[in-house]
Amino acid sequence: MRITSFTRMMVMGLAMLAAACSGNIPPLAEDGYDAPEYRLASGDRLNITVFGEDALSKEYLVTAAGAVSFPLIGDLPAVGKTSAQLQNDITAGLSQGYLNDPRVNVEILNFRPFFILGEVNNSGEYPYSSNLTVMQAVALAKGFTYRAEKDRVFIRRAGTDEERTYKLNSGRPVYVAPGDTIRVGERYF
């Protein structure tokens, strides 16, 4: 069998195309298939209510230092905690000689946004809501483009420098967390 220069160029072209398609795919993730529990971070606005204590019940901000400055108690670390954990901390602090049997409620007023880019029709920043899935995030971004790879997405979780690959056809939903950056890749064929 004789190999012509045209055949040789075709084989080399296909090999280069296959190498380009395989690219630098981030590692496959195992997390993200369970709904995340919202963790507080700097900039979150909270409505804290102490029942029967109007002077203590108001909006509070998680500061850049990661704390909530609460009257009588002082600065309480908040970053990385759930609203229930912060609620327990405030209740414990107020119980130490300030109030008898304090009843506290912590409500998150604004969630940090998530970002979606790549092969969606309207990439950008979107508001986060509880139990948001990647498919719902794509719907917020007006759907996939015709070139989108619909079998997987790449997500950089807030606070990390590494992107991970998430399979969309695994039968389990992939959940978005506040501050995530979702990238929808382009298919080649």
d(CA 39, CA 80): 5
Task: Look at residue 83 and give its three-state secondary structure.
Answer: helix
Complete domains list, the chain, with CATH: 45-108 (3.30.1950.10), 112-184 (3.10.560.10)
Output the DSSP codes for 4-28: PHHHHHHHHHHHHHHHHHHTTPPPB
Asked if pLDDT for residue 27 goes beyond 70, the answer is no
pLDDT of residue 175: 93
pTM, whole model, 2 decimals?
Answer: 0.71
Please calculate the CA angle 52-54-56 and round it to the nearest 5 degrees: 105
Asked if pLDDT for residue 177 goes beyond 60, the answer is yes
**Size of the chain in residues:** 189
For residues 3-9, give the mean pLDDT.
57
Is the Cβ–Cβ distance between 99 and 70 less than 8 Å? no
Both tokens of 154, joined, read 């790449």
pLDDT of residue 5: 59
Asked if pLDDT for residue 7 goes beyond 80, the answer is no
Task: Look at residue 76 and give its three-state secondary structure.
Answer: strand
For residues 44-55, give the mean pLDDT.
95
